[in-house]
């Protein structure tokens, strides 16, 4: 008879405890060092009295169902009430590596749940050297170094946005005294065309991998078999074009100067014509000389040519007397000279060039 009331009391306590169970989320959280970490504790009803948050087994924050969060000595933690008004969010403002471990929500005398917190650290990633210049077909070595990471980062290579097979590069890592990892990788690329080469480093807490990029410029080459020297095709073509342009300019200048010289001295051409064509019938007959220093007064080229033609026609009918080199009387020379001048004056009324024989 006394056992039945005891069983009823135990059953009612069990039902109350089951009704007061709660939920903790997330059960696993990974953040970068320095970022904020949030955990939510949601009791199934409002029949709890005290909620205690423990970080790695140490009580960090206490929340009363009636008055809310109680004062704490840790300024890096706080709690805010969620939208459903019966849940509380435990906030770790700035996570450090020491915070990594367990996070527990304890409803005093009712239920207790534990989650895991992982704190990762982002380091740096760098490709050694600057942008590269290589001839086509030449192997080019790239070295990437990711330093100051926790845990060990995943290192990958990309060429023009395409992932490189892991078998084409090597990876080595080392751990420092602060449990930070440094990873080094070497990639050899055969220069085929100009490309962008990227080295990517990441940990799970990073939404986007950290990236270091470098430019590979490939230059075509021309091989000269005689002396085993190489010359860029673009350089040879440029020099040839400059040389051809210089020769063209020199020829143009010479032709221009020749044309100006011919226009500036038209009388020289006329004198040359006289000496070649006009001297033969007269000067040879008289064994005299043509006065090349004489220039006509105002005669145009057409008039001068007409005059020369008239003189040649007259020379066919006029006979010249050969005058000896030495004469005994000057009167005879003057008489003969006067006859020659009179006969030429009568034949043409134009301005005639006088011929003097000695």
pLDDT 10s digits, 149-203: 999 999 999 999 999 999 999 999 999 878 899 999 999 999 999 999 999 999 9
Q: Tell me the HSE value of 301 on the side-chain side, using a 13 A CA sphere.
A: 8
Q: Which CATH number fits domain 19-120: 2.60.40.10, 1.10.3720.10, 3.30.450.40, 1.10.10.10?
A: 2.60.40.10
Residue with tokens 């086509």: 136
Q: Is 125 exposed, middle or buried (0-12, 13-18, 19+ CB in 10 A)?
A: buried
The angle formed by the CA atoms of residues 76, 178 and 207, to the nearest 5 degrees, is 65
- CB-based contacts of 292: which residues, under 8 Å, 6+ apart? 271, 274, 275
The reported pLDDT for the residue numbered 216 is 95
Peptide bond into 26 cis (omega under 30): yes
d(CA 334, CA 327): 11
d(CA 154, CA 209): 9
Domains 19-120 and 124-219 share a fold: yes
| 3-state SS class at 123 | coil
pLDDT beneath 70, residues of the chain: 1-20, 221-233, 264-358
Instruction: Give the domain ranges of the chain.
Output: 19-120, 124-219, 224-264, 266-347
How far apart, in Å, are the Cα atoms of 333 and each of 296, 342, 356?
26, 14, 11
User: 124-219: what fold?
Assistant: Immunoglobulin-like (2.60.40)
Residue with tokens 């134009």: 350
d(CA 219, CA 234): 9
Q: Are 300 and 272 in contact (CB under 8 A)?
A: no
Q: Is the dihedral of CA 46, 52, 53, 54 positive or negative?
A: negative
Residue 48: Cβ within 10 Å count:
20
Q: Are 30 and 122 in contact (CB under 8 A)?
A: no
The reported pLDDT for the residue numbered 312 is 59
């Amino acid at each position: 008879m006394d056992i039945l009331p005891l069983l009823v009391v135990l059953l009612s306590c069990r039902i109350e405890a089951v009704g007061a169970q709660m939920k903790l989320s997330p059960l696993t959280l990974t953040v970068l060092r320095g970022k904020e970490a949030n955990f939510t504790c949601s009791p199934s009803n409002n029949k709890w009295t005290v909620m205690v948050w423990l970080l790695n087994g140490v009580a960090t924050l206490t929340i009363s169902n009636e008055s809310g969060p109680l004062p704490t000595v840790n300024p890096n933690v706080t709690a805010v009430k969620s939208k459903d008004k019966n849940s509380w969010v435990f906030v770790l403002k700035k996570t450090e590596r020491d915070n990594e471990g367990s996070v527990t929500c304890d409803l005093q005398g009712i239920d207790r749940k534990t989650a895991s917190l992982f704190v990762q650290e982002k380091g740096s990633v760098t490709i050694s050297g600057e942008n590269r210049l290589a001839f086509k077909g030449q192997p080019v070595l790239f070295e990437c170094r990711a330093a100051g990471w926790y845990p060990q980062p995943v290192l990958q290579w990309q060429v023009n946005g395409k992932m490189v097979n892991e078998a084409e590069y090597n990876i080595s890592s080392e751990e420092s005294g602060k449990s930070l990892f440094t990873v080094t990788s070497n990639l050899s690329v055969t220069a085929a065309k100009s490309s962008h080469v990227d080295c990517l480093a990441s940990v799970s807490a990073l939404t986007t991998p950290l990236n270091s990029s470098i430019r590979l410029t490939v230059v075509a080459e021309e091989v000269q078999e005689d002396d085993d020297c190489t010359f860029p095709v673009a350089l040879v073509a440029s020099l040839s074009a400059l040389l051809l342009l210089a020769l063209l300019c020199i020829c143009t200048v010479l032709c221009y100067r020749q044309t100006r010289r011919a226009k500036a001295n038209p009388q020289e051409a006329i004198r040359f014509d006289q000496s070649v064509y006009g001297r033969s019938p007269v000067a040879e007959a008289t064994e005299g000389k043509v006065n090349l220093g004489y220039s006509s007064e105002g005669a145009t080229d057409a008039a001068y040519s007409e005059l020369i033609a008239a003189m040649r026609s007259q020379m066919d009918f006029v006979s010249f007397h050969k005058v000896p080199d030495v004469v005994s009387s000057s009167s005879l020379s003057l008489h003969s000279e006067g006859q020659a001048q009179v006969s030429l004056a009568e034949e043409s009324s134009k301005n005639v060039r006088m011929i003097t024989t000695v």
